[in-house]
Amino acid sequence: MTRDRFPTARLLALLVPVALLGGALVSQYVGKLYPCELCWFQRYPHAAAIVLAALAFVAPGRTAQRLLVALAGVAILVSGLIGVFHAGVEYHWWQGFTECTSTMTGPVTLDSIMKAPIVRCDVAQWRLGGISLAGFNAVFSIAGAIAIFWTMRGKRS
């Protein structure tokens, strides 16, 4: 008898991007690690995955729920692949699209432009064991997507 593992896949599809996007926001607002352009690109698929996974809890019908979870898994995987690209830019394995961005908010004045922090995409602001935040996002996002797809292959009703 095959156990239905879809509820686990659906929960993973919600918790993985919530944890990773939450970690990114904590590192930004508490740790003062301002995101570069490639950091932002990694966040968008996680935000989409949260919406898709949340909809999978309320969608009518098992087929619609499975589709939403699968799409959330794809979005998480996309964020991980962007993380691989970003980590490669940080390690100077290849050239990125841009070298720096700014996180300026509010009205644009000369003073606000001069005070806005410049955040380079090719320089990791933080590393643990030689792995940057982009590298950790790549590892956890790709592993999370694999776990979601693996658990979805269980019993269908």
Domains annotated for the chain, with CATH where assigned, are 6-152 (1.20.1550.10)
Q: Give the pLDDT mean for 32-41.
A: 86
Give the tens place of pLDDT for each residue, 71-126. Answer: 999 999 999 999 999 998 888 888 877 655 555 556 767 776 666 666 666 777 77
Selected residue with higher pLDDT from 157 and 55: 55
Q: Is the per-residue pLDDT at 16 higher than 50?
A: yes
Q: What pLDDT does 94 receive?
A: 84
Tell me phi and psi for residue 101, to 5 degrees: -140, 175
**Range 47-59 average pLDDT:** 96
Is 22 in contact with 15 (CB distance < 8 Å)?
Answer: no
- Helix, strand, coil percentages in the chain from 3-state DSSP, rounded to 5: 65, 5, 30
- What tens digit of pLDDT does each residue of 128-141 get? 888 888 899 999 99
Element (H, E) at 116: none
Sign, CA torsion 120/121/124/125: positive
Q: Where are the beta strands (DSSP E) in the chain?
A: 100-102, 118-120, 127-128, 131-132
